[in-house]
Structure 1
Amino acid sequence: MFTDKDMVQLKLYTEEYKQSIFSYNLSPQQSVYTSTPVEAVKACEEDETKIPIVILYREELAGFFILQCGGGVKGFSENEEAILLRAYSVDTNYQGKGIAQSSLNQLSAFVKKHYSDKKEIVLAVNHKNTIAQHVYKKCGFVDKGIRIMGKKGEQFVYHKDINEVIM
């Protein structure tokens, strides 16, 4: 039996999703902590180390994030085999369906498939964003006590080892 969570897919962003990102909704609470997909895609166009990824739910755009390799990871991890998760969000209209958890649980396999040299995923989450912290921890991210200062205050750096993922 398929559940809603089985309807979630991660895909590399292409122009086919361009129109959808303009109608993407973030709540005021979310927009404090993350970029809109429109802003994120623009950042990716200006920096080739940033790769835009879409989260699809029943073939519709439901979420978005960036994976970043190279020098951008350095401020978060000394591990050269790490990849940085940035600008993660789920559209307000799709929240409460398990999409965040499903997409984050698929992330290790996605990274192994598209970036086979990467062994760790890192991210920074604002110290006030307790909802996101809970979701990330539930999906296997670990707080190793590393803290950095971001534009909006202290950030907790979370890590997830993906060595064990088998494709």
Structure 2
Amino acid sequence: MKKIEDHVSLTKVAPQHIEPLREFTLHKHQLAFTSLPIPAYEKCLLDQKRFPVAILEGDRPVGFFVLDQGADVWAYSKSTHAILLRAFSINLPYQGQGIAKASLQQLKPFVKTHLPHCREVVLGVNQNNPSAKKVYLGAGFIDTGKEKIGRSGPMAILKFFI
């Protein structure tokens, strides 16, 4: 039996991913911590510093996130080589299968290939979202011990070195 890691990959969002991303669902409480893919993707279309990423299981989009090189990254890191991971989500029917962890384990090679100037990935995870924090820490992110106030309260700032 193949492991989930063997089926999960990352790719830049392409036209064939839009409709499956539009059909995404999340638990109501998850929407306090992240965005549905399409609104986040639409921001990418308006801002060239945002890189939209589809998480695929086989060829089916089951997750999404944005790598943001814009000014918002300065609230998380003072490194000129940092990038902000935002709007990370896994479509509700695919949650709990290890897809989030498998996708984050591919972050380093993906960033090295597509954004070679980046040396660290930073993010904010809401303190009221311990399951997400556990996934990030399990994938190699470290807690910086710093906090930032987000739209839904205090967030721990995590980082991952490329």
Q: How does the TM-score come out when normalised to structure 2? A: 0.96
Please report the TM-score for the alignment, with normalisation by the length of structure 1.
0.93
Structure 1 stretches of 5 or more lacking a match?
163-167
Gaps spanning 5+ residues in structure 2: where? none
Conserved in 1, the CA contact under 8 Å of 2:4 and 2:102? no
Aligned residues of 1:84 and 1:121 also touching (Cα < 8 A): yes
- Partner of 1:68 in structure 2? 68
* Contact map agreement 1:121 1:161 (CA 8 A) in 2: yes
Please give the residue correspondences for 1:18-57 in structure 2 after superposition, counting only pairs within 5 Å. 18-57=18-57
Identity %: 36
- Once residues 4 and 159 of structure 1 are traced to their aligned partners in structure 2, the CA distance between those partners, rounded to angstroms, is 24
Please, what is the CA RMSD of the aligned residues? 1.0
**Counterpart residue number, 2:153:** 153
**Is the contact made by 1:5 and 1:97 (CA closer than 8 Å) also made in structure 2?**
no
Aligned length: 162
The change in CA–CA distance for 1:32 and 1:70 in structure 2 (over 3 A counts) is closer
Question: Which segments of structure 1 move beyond 2 Å, counting only runs of 4 or more?
Answer: none
- Give the structure 2 partner of residue 165 of structure 1: none
Specify the SS of the correspondent of 1:26. Answer: coil
Distance in 2 (alpha carbons) for counterparts of 1:97 and 1:126: 22
By how many angstroms is 1:5 displaced?
2.1
Q: Distance in 2 between matches of 1:100 and 1:132?
A: 9
Deviates more, 1:58-67 or 1:69-78: 69-78
Q: Which amino acid aligns with 2:56?
A: L
Question: Distance between the aligned counterparts of 1:9 and 1:41, measured in 2?
Answer: 18
